[in-house]
Chain A
Amino acid sequence: MTVILRILIAPLVWLVCFSAVYGLHALACDSAFGAFAGSSTARIVLLVAFVLALALQLAIFWYLHRPNQAAPAGFLRFVTRASAWTGLVATIWTLFPVVALSTCT
């Protein structure tokens, strides 16, 4: 089972972070949150979340690429590392709007 979990972990963490940042953004733009909504604090919170997500992915990436961590068989190591890449690239690709776009329009 751990071999399967090792394959799933990086993209799973991406999914969680992705949903969390989306939720955070929805809240950051909800007028119910008063002065916070759309302010530069909101942007900073989002940026911090992005950086955290990235750091988490890098940690997983590093963990799965440690020589003794990958499963011995070449195939499983390959798939595990490929999904480490998936998680990392997906994090950058899908969350970069945090940096580039206007927050709440």
Chain B
Amino acid sequence: MLIGAAGIFGLVMVLVGLAFRRKDTIDGDGQQVRLWIIGFGLVFPALVLGALLLYGLTIGERLSPRAGANVVQVTAEARRWEWRFTYSDAPALETTGVLHIPAGLPVDIAITTADVIHSFWVPRLAGKLDAIPGHTNTLRLEADRPGTFQGVSAEFSGAGYDAFAFRVIAHDKAAWAAFLQGQLE
């Protein structure tokens, strides 16, 4: 996308630059309209944008959560300025500031808030999704290997917003089982 954009930008700048060549002024707009307005102005953007749109929608469709077996369910509840996570596989567990997930399995995170709007964002794992009072939003993500990932809240929430972060720890099979047993601290 970046390369395409750079290409288009370069093209436009070259066209602007070439306008400064010495040349005769042109009378009669007919042919100019066809070239600049219909060609460059309508057809070209429509093609590029149409392609981009289809591409974006295809990806978006792939990223959308879909019902399936083996999806781990967790809940993330935000409040100023702390995240609390609960796990449907171990209803007694609640963690604060750290979300534990299994690696290699799709996870659905049900995001809510107890006060103002926040946003759940782990850049390495998925895009953002907001936590909105009275609504529950579900984000699908999957860590393909065990590890620790940084997350932040990405919706301005007042004075403590700067430091409003959390961590996501993706466990391998054994560690995840241990976590669910409450044996991991």
Contact = CB atoms under 8 A, between A and B. Distances in A.
B36 to A, nearest CB: 16
B64 A102 contact: yes
B57 A100 contact: yes
Interface string B63-84: 0111000000000000000000
Contacts of B61: 101-102
Interface in A89-105: 93, 97, 100-102, 105
8 contacts: A93-B50, A100-B57, A101-B57, A101-B61, A102-B61, A102-B64, A105-B64, A105-B66
A93 B57 CA distance: 13
A102 B66 CA distance: 10
A64 B66 CA distance: 45
Interface of B: 50, 57, 61, 64-66
Interface string A3-35: 000000000000000000000000000000000
- Interface size, A (range): under 10
Interface of A: 93, 97, 100-102, 105
A101 B66 CA distance: 13
Contacts of A101: 57, 61
A87 B78 CA distance: 43
A105 B138 CA distance: 10
Given A101-B57, A102-B64, 6 more contacts: A97-B57, A100-B57, A102-B61, A105-B64, A105-B65, A105-B66
A93 B45 CA distance: 13
B182 to A, nearest CB: 33
Contacts of A100: 57
| Nearest 9 CB-CB pairings of A with B | A105-B64, A101-B61, A105-B65, A105-B66, A102-B61, A101-B57, A97-B57, A102-B64, A100-B57
Contacts of B57: 97, 100-101
A19 B50 CA distance: 21
Contacts of A97: 57
Nearest to A104: B64
B142 to A, nearest CB: 16
A105 B140 CA distance: 11
A100 B58 CA distance: 10
